[in-house]
Each structure stands twice: as C-alpha cells, then as structure tokens.
Structure 1
Amino acid sequence: MQTMSSSSLTLSFITSFLFFFSTYARVVYAQESGSLQGKHGSTFSAVYAFGGSYTDTGNACTMTSLKGSFGANCQRSGGRLSNGKLAVDYVSASFSLPSPQPWLNISKNSYSATPGALSTATSGVNFAIAGSSSLQHKYFTNQDLSHVIWKGIPMTIQTQVHWFRNFLREKNCMGKHAHRCIEEFKNALFWVGPIGISDYYNVQGTSIAQKWLTQLSIQQFTKVIEALINAGAKYIVAEGLPPLGCFPLSVSQSEGHKLDQNGCAVPVNSAIKLHNQILKSKVGELQRRCHECSILYADFWKAYETIVMTPAKYHLEETKKACCGTGKGDLNFDPKMVCGSPTTSACTDPAKYVSWDGIHITEAMQRQVADLYLNQGFCEPSFDTMIKHKSSI
C-alpha cells in the first residue's frame, strides 16, 4: 500500500485551498457586483417598457431629432443616453430575457411589409423616448422653452401610449381577438421608467410653477399605467425620480445659497420629493382599483441616495463629477458643451462614476440601482412579493 509523502500532502492541501479560495472569491464577487443574469429564472415571458432617457434603448436615437451631442452619445452606446446598459436591460436579463427592442425598429420592419415583423417582439418592446415631455407643445412655443435633449419640440408622454395602441392593433389585439393579447400580457412585466426628468430640467429658471408641473407629470404617468391595465397588464413597475437636484446639470444652474449641505439644489429636490410622494400614493390607489394586478413603486430616490452615501460598497468612487465632459470645473460639466461635443472627453474608468454626462447616470450605476430594485427591497411591495404572487397563480 502506497502512502503520500508529507510534501505531496502539503502540495495537495495548498492546491485544494487555492481552488476553493478562487471559487469562493468568484462567487462573492458575483454577489457583491450585483450579477443579475438569469437570477430570477423565466418568471416573465416579456418586458414592455415606457419612460424617458433612463429607459429608452433606441427610439429617440432612431428619430435623429436629438441635439448633436446627444445623438453622438446614443450612437456609441447602442441607442442609449449613457455609456452602456440601463436598468431595464438588467431587469430583463434577470428574468432570462433579451432587452426589449425599440418600437421604431420593430414598426419600421412591420410597415415595410416584412413577413412576421412582429415576431421579433415576442420578448418585449421598448416604447420609451429619451427627453419625452409631460408638457404639451404649446408650452415650448409660448414660453420659448428650449429642450435639454431635443433640437426642437420633444415628443410627449402620450406618444408612447399612441405607439402602444398601434402595437396592439398590429398584433390584432382589438375586438374579438383581444383575449389573445390579454392572456399574453398576463405573463409579461411592464416597466414604466422615470417620467418627468426632462420636464423638471426644462422648467428651471422659468415662470412655470413646479407644483403644477408635478400634477401634470403624475397625470401623464397615471394615463400610461391605466392604458396598460386596460390592455390586460397585470405586473407593473412604476419608477420614481432620483434626486435631480444633486445632478451636475441642476447644481450648475443653481445659485450658491440654494444649495444644501450636500451641494444639491434645494428647490429642485423639493419638487422631486413631492412628485415621488404623490406618485407612490397614486400607485397604491391603482393597486387597490386592480385587485388582480401587482403594481410596484420603484424608489429611485432611495436607491440613488443609498449608493451615493456609501459608494465604495457598490464599487463606485466619484459621486458628484460627470465622467464625460469638458474637463473643467468641480463637476466636469458645461450645459453648453455636454458630453459628445467636440471639446469633451470621457474619463478612463466610467465604472467608478455615478454620473455619465451630468444628466444621465453610468451603466455601473444603472446596474446597482437595478440590483437594489430586484434583490434588496427597494420596490414597494418588493419584487419577491410580485414573483410569489405570479408563481401562486
């Protein structure tokens, strides 16, 4: 009978220990970095998305109506106004689904009579439009407002509802065939991303009352969700707004005495807090009206604040300065020369930054926010509650 020498035993022990340690380290890193791919299996069959630039995966970019700098940005990042993926991309991946395709890409094929064009939409559609506004066109003309992102007058939130209804019509969801889509939508997740970001940016320094704007924005948000429920949607996430007053765009346009101890614009954040309070209440009201639905409020403010307060925990470092900008000032931001302008450049490691261009957040930040929504209880009720509700049916 052969026996192993002490040196062989030591080598074997070291090899086993190193293998175990490396495996353990990979697991811990995957957990800490918020690895989301397939985490929640195939709970949902599709994801349908609505919202603004924090959710748009290509519609506004396809329309070529963005200001030059933003057009350059979205061309480099797959149609997104960031340096990469958005929360809706990570949410879709968590349920083993591809990112929902922009509606304009699908409808273009459909209108060109491509056979089976809508078959590409079986895993979801993204109707969100970057820079879309709750304000109607007349406010941009009568008040001589210029838009942060658009060259001229932006699309309104209702455009997305109109596109969705066109989608229903093309899928033959009307009349006697409506039951087909209703059954299909029962297994889909509807993601209504932040609505109102563009509006709050646009009215800074104008005579438009922010309280009135808040009421209008919530009204438009509610119309989107009601349209979804009427079409048969059962599982809906309504995302609130982040503290826009802490973003470089708002800070750069605020007078010093209007900034709080954290350097955030107080008037802007006061409006956003009211917006979120009303939206959260409205989500609860919609839930009570639709007993068979599961409607969550995603607390963007709380998620953003949590990450910025302890950035190292989320593998981030720079919480105030934009990654992409002119390279000047404490914020690396100039509203006249935003990221994408000829005189701007990006930082070497965007994964360490919260802000991408002073207006939008980075892919790294989007991923962490999505992880907090999905796995850390930053939705009310929690995502687990929604998943259990669906699993029990």
Structure 2
Amino acid sequence: MASSLILLTITFTFIILSSPVTKCATSAKTATHPIPPFKSIYAFGDSYTDTGNTNSATGPNPYLYVSRSPYGQTFFHHPTNRYSDGRLVIDFLAQQLSLPFLPPYLSKTADKSYGINFAVAGSTAIIYSFFVKNNLTLNRTPQSLQTQLVWFNEFLESKGCKNSITTPKECKAVFDNALIWLGEIGANDYAYTFGSSVSGTTIQKLAIGSVTRFLEAILDKGVKYLVVQGLPPTGCLTLTRYLAAENDRDTLGCVASSNKQSYAHNTILQAKLNDFRKKFPNAVIVYADYWNAYASVVKNPEKYGIKELFKACCGSNSGLYNFDLFNTCGSPMATSCSNPSQYINWDGVHLTEGMYKAVAELLLEGKFSNPPFEYLLSRKRRSG
C-alpha cells in the first residue's frame, strides 16, 4: 500500500493545466523588439508548457481544484487552468516576442493565426502504449509527444505542408517566420515509473529516443528556428523533497538522486542536439538549460526576490512544506500565502509566476541558452 501511494503521488509531479483564455493579447510592442521577429510560435511539451489542452475535468484526479481560486490570482486575477498563480515561461516568451498568449490546439474557437500550443499536461515523451503494457496508467493523461506530433502534422497538412522535399513552398510559408518551442518533456516518464520494475536507464533510452525522433521529424519538415528545453532539477520540487529520505540531498538542498537523473538526461539530449546541428546546418537550434537556470535561482534567491525555496505558497497550511497530498491548493482546507512572488513553488508541484519569470529571463536574456537566444533572434533579423 505504501509503495502504491508513493507511485500515485509521484505521478502528479508534472501536471500543469493552463489557460483557455486565448485572446488575451500582450502589451504594445516592446522597445527591445519594436517589430515582432516572428509571426507565430508553435509549442510542445508537458504541463510546464500547456496553455489549455487539459483542464480540471480532463486532468489527473488529485488536482480537481485548478479551476478555483487562488489559481491565476496574480496576473489574470481569476483561475485560468494554469497550475500557477500567473504566467508560465511560454507566456513570457510570447510577451518577449510581442505576440498574444498561445491558444491550445484543442480549442475550437481560439484565434490560432499567431501560433498554437500542442503541449499537454501530464504528457510523456514515450508513447502511451508503453505505460499500458507495464500497468502504469493510473491517473494520467494518455497523450504523449507522439500525439502532439500527430496534431502538428494535421495542422501542417491543412497548410499544404508535407515535407521540405515534396512541398517546399508550402512548408517554407509556415516555418520562415515561426519559432518552434519544445518545452521540457520526459520528467513524467521517470515519475510514472518510480517504484516499478522499469529501470531509469530504460526510461532514459526510450524518452531520449522519442524526443530525437520528434525533432528529426519536424526538422525534416523545414523548421528553421528551434528551441529545446531541458528538464528542470526535479529534486528541488516540494513534493519530491516531501517524499524522499532526508539523507538524499545535494549541495542545493534538493533530492540528489532525482537531480542527478534529470541532469544525466539533459547531458544526452544536448549531445543529440549537436548531431542535429550538423545534419541540419540551415536550422538554428538552441538548447534552453532549464536545469541550471532553476539552480541559479536556488543559489541566489535574494537576487530574484525569493525568500522561500522549498515550501509551497498554496497548500494545506500544515507540516514542514505546507503540503498535503489530500489537501492541495484550491481545496477547502488549503490556503495561499500573500506573497507568492517570494516563493519558488506554488502548490507543492508547480511554480509561481515569479519563478517562471526568473527562469524565462535567464533563458531568453541570460547565459542559460546555447547558443544564446539573442543569437537566434539576430539570425532571424538578418534573414528578414
């Protein structure tokens, strides 16, 4: 029973549901980029990037309160189905590029002329059938990165784009002014198999293989500007610390075994991206180092106005971490702190807008992207 509970709780780690609000435009064009460098963004990933392809009715059972206050309180001033008090990294990206927030693919009424978000909360890199085969499907969404690729292909076919060889003109029309953003994907794969007979090595091989095939497929379509996020330091999340043994800690104060696993995954992913840069020399491929950007905030919290590294802002109002799996944020027994911008973690699993903002700035304006995001923008400007 205990092992089942641990597996159940771990599966909730990366479920972020996002906004159905699709027509909320950003502010006027910024001084940094008075003319938007891109006309559209197409995003993929899991809960950390989803802007509405799941909601409280379709997401995992433990988080039935995402459509209730205090979710969304900081920026939107009402629940938006984002698992945060406000905006996510993908929202800050859109604002940085002077574009509207990305609408979810599954929305039937959204204006998708400026891009689409295909990311799904709870999504895995590995195809769903693998988890079915291993009896690991409890309280999880069935979508995977493969699902998102199918959706993207359907969208491209509606534009007449099949691949860069047979339909070069049509694919060029889609990709010349489009930024492709692959948010972090793969953390769920490790979480869903925790405590099972499936080894971490097996998950690493299968997850990296799935991401590699996805990237090759979209690059073959003619993608020109691509950003790929790595995994965050999963050992720093409130729930992970809540479950792990006290002696399993690293120099950040986070769960050492989880952080080591995420870091190793990212190292292999970066090597794959180097291979793609050689194979597709005309594409600009940026690695967004989520792991080290996050760790930078943990190491220097005062620089970002952060005072609480591990305790949840919104939670059960009890215990060491203000976290109780059975009284999560939004439930009748939960309360929210008055200053979420001073917290890294929002609800025990997901991050505050303040943390997403800090990470976004480090990825888009700082030194935690390789090559720097500004290099991608300069290449785009030169190409017209």
Does the alignment reach a TM-score above 0.5? yes
Match of 1:243 among 226, 230, 233: 233
* Cα distance, 1:48–1:174 mapped onto 2, change above 3 Å: same
Match of 2:149 among 144, 161, 164: 161
CA distance in 2, matches of 1:262, 1:392: 41
CA distance in 2, matches of 1:37, 1:301: 28
Q: Deviations over 1:232-268 (max 9, x none)?
A: 2100000001110111111122122323354322221
Determine helix, strand or coil for the equivalent of 1:256: coil
Q: How does 1:69-88 map to 2 (within 5 A)?
A: 69-73=62-66, 76-77=71-72, 78-88=80-90
CA distance in 1, matches of 2:126, 2:174: 33
* Cα distance, 1:91–1:261 mapped onto 2, change above 3 Å: closer
Q: Does 1:277 align with 2:279?
A: no
Match of 2:32 among 25, 29, 39: 39
Q: Does 1:131 align with 2:129?
A: no
TM superposition shift of 1:184: 2.8
Contact 2:105–2:116 (8 Å) recurs in 1: yes
Contact 2:123–2:145 (8 Å) recurs in 1: yes
Contact 1:54–1:86 (8 Å) recurs in 2: yes
CA distance in 2, matches of 1:190, 1:261: 34
Q: How does 1:6-155 map to 2 (within 5 A)?
A: 39-41=32-34, 42-61=36-55, 64-73=57-66, 76-77=71-72, 78-105=80-107, 108-109=108-109, 120-145=111-136, 147=138, 151-155=139-143
Contact 1:140–1:153 (8 Å) recurs in 2: no
Contact 1:89–1:99 (8 Å) recurs in 2: yes
Contact 1:58–1:74 (8 Å) recurs in 2: no
Determine helix, strand or coil for the equivalent of 1:355: coil
Determine helix, strand or coil for the equivalent of 1:39: coil
Match of 2:170 among 177, 180, 183: 180
TM-score by length of 2: 0.83
Q: Deviations over 1:256-301 (max 9, x none)?
A: 2323354322221111111010111111111111110000000001
| Structure 2, unpaired ranges of 5+ | 1-28, 73-79
Residue type of the alignment partner of 1:172 = G
Q: Does 1:298 align with 2:288?
A: yes
CA distance in 2, matches of 1:301, 1:202: 20
The number of residue pairs the alignment matches comes to: 343
Determine helix, strand or coil for the equivalent of 1:245: helix
Alpha-carbon RMSD across the aligned residues, in angstroms, is 2.2
Q: Deviations over 1:367-390 (max 9, x none)?
A: 111111111121000011111222
Contact 2:310–2:344 (8 Å) recurs in 1: yes
Contact 2:252–2:298 (8 Å) recurs in 1: no
* Cα distance, 1:302–1:152 mapped onto 2, change above 3 Å: closer
CA distance in 1, matches of 2:277, 2:251: 37
CA distance in 1, matches of 2:159, 2:218: 15
TM-score by length of 1: 0.81
CA distance in 2, matches of 1:178, 1:71: 45
Q: Deviations over 1:126-170 (max 9, x none)?
A: 0000110134434544544355xxx34531221100110111122
| Structure 1, unpaired ranges of 5+ | 1-35, 110-116
CA distance in 2, matches of 1:221, 1:37: 33
- In structure 2, what is the equivalent of residue 6 of structure 1? none
* Cα distance, 1:336–1:133 mapped onto 2, change above 3 Å: farther
Q: Does 1:254 align with 2:248?
A: no
- In structure 2, what is the equivalent of residue 387 of structure 1? 377
CA distance in 1, matches of 2:180, 2:336: 33
* Cα distance, 1:156–1:308 mapped onto 2, change above 3 Å: same
Percentage identity across aligned positions? Answer: 36
Residue type of the alignment partner of 2:151 = W
Contact 1:38–1:94 (8 Å) recurs in 2: no
CA distance in 1, matches of 2:83, 2:168: 35
CA distance in 2, matches of 1:195, 1:45: 25
Contact 1:320–1:355 (8 Å) recurs in 2: yes
Which is further off, 303-312 or 332-341? 332-341
Contact 1:38–1:95 (8 Å) recurs in 2: no
- In structure 2, what is the equivalent of residue 326 of structure 1? 316
CA distance in 1, matches of 2:31, 2:332: 39
CA distance in 2, matches of 1:215, 1:340: 37
- In structure 1, what is the equivalent of residue 328 of structure 2? 338
CA distance in 1, matches of 2:320, 2:31: 39
* Cα distance, 1:327–1:145 mapped onto 2, change above 3 Å: farther
TM superposition shift of 1:219: 1.6
- In structure 2, what is the equivalent of residue 230 of structure 1? 220
Which is further off, 215-224 or 283-292? 215-224
CA distance in 2, matches of 1:174, 1:264: 45
